[in-house]
Amino acid sequence: MERKSARDIAREETKRAEEEQRGINFGHRIFRKDNPEFASLFLEFWRGSKRGEAIPRKYKELMELAIVLVLHCKPCIFLHTKLCLDAGASREEILETAQIAISMGGGVVYEYVGYLMEALESLTETEE
């Protein structure tokens, strides 16, 4: 059996996380259909948190990344790493965000940073 490279494993993990996110999104559609009033109120509340202009989008995405690291949400880590990159965050800004999350959340967050690094490597490999 051929041993996979770390980069190949990172690519596969990113793909699995994207597939898992699609499943989550499917479940959300069902939830919204079965709970339209609640879902509508929550989504309006969530969208409202994105409307402010005092904090640039990039920094909001970095905050969200720190939060999902601390909350240990694997598919969220992949999603928010991509959103940080899309918002213009640099690798250094993402890594500093991870450091802050680790300092607040401890050893378990340090373990979940592995998923962040897989996502970061996979999402940025075409830029090299």
Rg (CA), the chain: 16
Q: Which fold has domain 6-127?
A: AhpD-like (1.20.1290)
Helix (H, G, I), strand (E, B) or coil at 12: helix
Q: Where are the chain's structural domains? A: 6-127
Residue 3: left if φ>0, alpha if ψ -120 to 50, beta else—which one? beta
What rounded mean pLDDT belongs to the chain? 92
pLDDT digits (tens, 9 = 90+) for 8-60: 888 888 889 889 989 999 999 999 999 999 999 999 998 998 888 999 999 99
